[in-house]
Chain A
Amino acid sequence: MTQLLTCILGGMGFAIGAICSYLRLRHHVRWAPAALRVAVTLALAANVGYLAGRFRSMGVVETFRYSFDDAVLLATLLGLMGISTHLARTLRGVDGFLFIIATALQCAALAIVNQPEMRITGRAWFVSHSIAFAISGTLFIAGGVAGVAYLLVNRMLRRKQPTTLVGNVASLESLERFGRWTPIIGFPFFTYGILTGLCGVSHRPDLQADDWYLDPVFISSLLAWAVFGYLCYGSLYKPQIRGKRAAVLSTYGLGLIVVAYLFRVFFSLMHA
């Protein structure tokens, strides 16, 4: 019941946030920013309240043995990132995309309400695996969203029809900067998440017999790691991987992260 309520409150709050962001951008609705802040704050409060309750009743380590709680943590971090970009004048428009993804996450979490705990190692250090993936996932999604926004603005400017959105969405330079730094910060967390995941596998004798490395989560995560790794390398050392090319790479990365997440929730043997 609490999980269902969290999903509904969080999902609705983020959905209202996304709608208000759209209304602010396209129709200059005056009350939209205030409504956005209220709705998203309520959604965040619902999620944080839920997680705090779980931490208190079960402890942090036990909490993250549940896919639902992982999803709530990720949605909360995305909501926080969304509200931060909303408050940053230079990143206008990014918040809407982030709230859409946060809404989708909360809605997807409806499918795993009351799901039993995952058969993962119960060692305390393994909690960092979930947290590292939540942080890196948030940062990669934010980077991917910046990439999508960059491509849209770039398309608008190249088609030479920059009408209603000019001045209302973030500049290409801001989007590029945001899209460059978020994966660079998220990449070490993601790498750490993969490494701790591999360590976790070694603590699971039941998986040793299977071809665990063919698990779709593992493969899609590795692909995402490779894409974001190349993006980070390009951002730091190859100037030609910037602008549109970097945005395309982040968009692919975003797609892979979404796919990896869906596999992890619905089709993963390792997280079953």
Chain B
Amino acid sequence: MRTFVVGCNHRSAPVEKREKIAFDEAAVPAALQRFKQRFPEAEAVLLSTCNRVEFYVSRPMQGRPRIDEMIAFIGEFHGIEMHDFADTLYIHEDVQAVRHLLRVASSLDSMVLGESQIVGQTRDAFKTARMAGTVGRNLGPLFQHALAVAKTIHATTGISIGRLSVGSTAVDLARQIFSNFGDKTVMMVGAGGMGKMTLTHLIETRPQRVWVTNRTHARAVEVAERLSRRHPLTVQPIPFADWIDRLAEADIVITCTGSREPILTAEAFDQIPARRAYRPILLIDIALPRDIDAAVGRHDCVYLYNIDDLQAVTEAHLAQRKEALAKCHEIIEAAVLELADRQSREDVGPLIAALEKHFREVGRQELERILPKLEKASAHDRELIEQMLHRVTGKLLHGPITRLTGDSAAGTGRVYAEMLRALFDLKTEE
């Protein structure tokens, strides 16, 4: 069997091109059905996400589709000319295709290194293909193996450690300080885009109360209403004049105003810890210039993070993920070797059977030709001749078969296989 992948991703093609050949959720089964009708002997899995469109195909050695047919098939499905995509499509064959699939499924090829979404997307693509009946004994095990490798990589290498956005990092910090959000209050001061994004992440923890305040109260009301519509909890606008006073009740505070001076000074905050009974408070200051005086963070119960601190955390996470890359590559290479070895053995098996059949057939024909001429030979003599022929055939085949199976993992097995097919005109069933 030959396996190849044709596709494009966020690196090879700009979004304007990707969107033209992307398959939406409903189009994927339709495309697979059409593929099955056109190439009934071949297998296919179609992975179409916002960052990539990839067709994984496996076909018999001498079968269809060839790569150019596959590209034409994609163009035909979308009703577009594929010439424009020549420089954006990539093609990987056999071992390279396997390696590419493992890298994709393990999110090493993703825009955000180590993101876990792609694992689910690969699994969904595999399920859809299985339901469409385009997965067989070649792509089935390959995708199952790829998903298992992805799981191992995510679980053991630290490639998905930490978060890479400011909003999600803030949530991680909040979770490291608080265990239960059902009795917590989140307050956002200001209505900056970054603040809203961070608040959106924090709302996912389902806090008891969410307050929004802004110098322009109408803006706070507008933001509160918008957030209330999107999320299943009530976001309450509070007067800006009260916000420092409300710190006694709030547990997580996001500040993102455009003020040139700090809106929370150490003096203004001094009385707050006692009023809060020294409960911890997480202050996330993502304004520039900073909204909160750094001296506020000196209190034992205060955890103050500004935008640089959060970015440093996300950068540290990214660095850690990159450190894990070498280990991921090791796992992938081991898996690629294993899969290539398995594939070669599967390819070589039918060939060996055909080779043996061919030799035995020649022997049988010669035996049938010679035995009638040996009139004086006893039954015992005939049996001896048959045994000798069997042994000679076996000895002649021993060397080539050993080399064929032994070198299959090394990659030269395929060359030997092609040569044997050509030399002896062997036909194998795949």
Interface set of A (CB-CB < 8 Å, partner B): 27-30, 90, 153, 157-158, 160-164, 166-167, 169-174, 177, 239-240, 242-245
Contact = CB atoms under 8 A, between A and B. Distances in A.
Ranked nearest first, the 3 interchain pairs of A and B with the lowest CB-CB distance are: A239-B277, A174-B179, A171-B179
28 contacts: A27-B156, A27-B158, A28-B155, A28-B158, A30-B155, A157-B176, A157-B177, A158-B303, A160-B305, A160-B312, A161-B313, A163-B162, A163-B320, A164-B158, A164-B162, A166-B175, A169-B176, A171-B177, A171-B179, A172-B280, A173-B177, A173-B178, A239-B274, A239-B277, A240-B274, A242-B279, A243-B280, A243-B300
B301 interface: yes
Contact of A172 (B176, B274, B312, B317): B176
B196 to A, nearest CB: 23
B180 A173 contact: yes
Contacts of A90: 179
B316 interface: yes
Contact of B309 (A160, A177, A242): A160
Interface in B156-188: 156, 158, 161-162, 172-173, 175-180
B278 interface: yes
Given A28-B155, A28-B156, A240-B278, A163 B178 contact: no
Contact of A162 (B155, B173, B179): B173
A201 to B, nearest CB: 41
B300 A245 contact: yes
Contact of A173 (B158, B179, B277, B317): B179
Contact of A166 (B155, B158, B172): B172
B303 A157 contact: yes
A153 B301 CA distance: 13
B208 to A, nearest CB: 14
Contacts of A164: 158, 161-162, 320
Contacts of B173: 157, 162, 166
Contacts of B309: 160
A71 B305 CA distance: 46
Nearest to A239: B277
Contact of B176 (A28, A162, A243, A244): A162
Given A28-B156, A171-B177, A172-B177, A161 B172 contact: no
A233 to B, nearest CB: 15
B258 to A, nearest CB: 24
Interface in B64-80: none
A242 B278 contact: yes
Given A157-B303, A158-B303, 13 more contacts: A27-B156, A153-B176, A157-B173, A160-B305, A160-B313, A163-B161, A171-B179, A173-B177, A239-B277, A240-B278, A242-B277, A243-B280, A243-B300
Contacts of B161: 163-164
A163 B300 contact: no
Contacts of B280: 172-173, 243
A162 B180 CA distance: 20
Contacts of A240: 274, 278
Nearest to B174: A171
Nearest to A163: B316
Contacts of B317: 163
Contacts of B178: 171-173
A168 B288 CA distance: 31
Nearest to B173: A162
B381 to A, nearest CB: 64
Contacts of A177: 179
B123 to A, nearest CB: 19
B175 A244 contact: no
A244 B303 CA distance: 12
Contact of A30 (B156, B176, B305): B156
Nearest to B160: A28
Given A239-B277, A243-B301, A167 B158 contact: no
Contacts of B156: 27-30
A162 B300 contact: no
Nearest to A160: B309
Contacts of A30: 155-156
B127 to A, nearest CB: 24
Contacts of A167: 172, 175-176
B176 A166 contact: yes
Nearest to A175: B179
Nearest to B155: A30
Contacts of B180: 173
B294 to A, nearest CB: 12
Contacts of A157: 173, 176-177, 303
Contacts of A245: 300
A174 B305 CA distance: 21
A28 to B, nearest CB: 6
Given A30-B156, A157-B303, A239-B278, A163 B313 contact: yes
Contacts of A166: 162, 172-173, 175-176
A164 B178 CA distance: 18
A244 B300 contact: yes
B117 to A, nearest CB: 18
A272 B313 CA distance: 55
A153 B172 CA distance: 13
A56 B241 CA distance: 73
Interface in B269-283: 274, 277-280
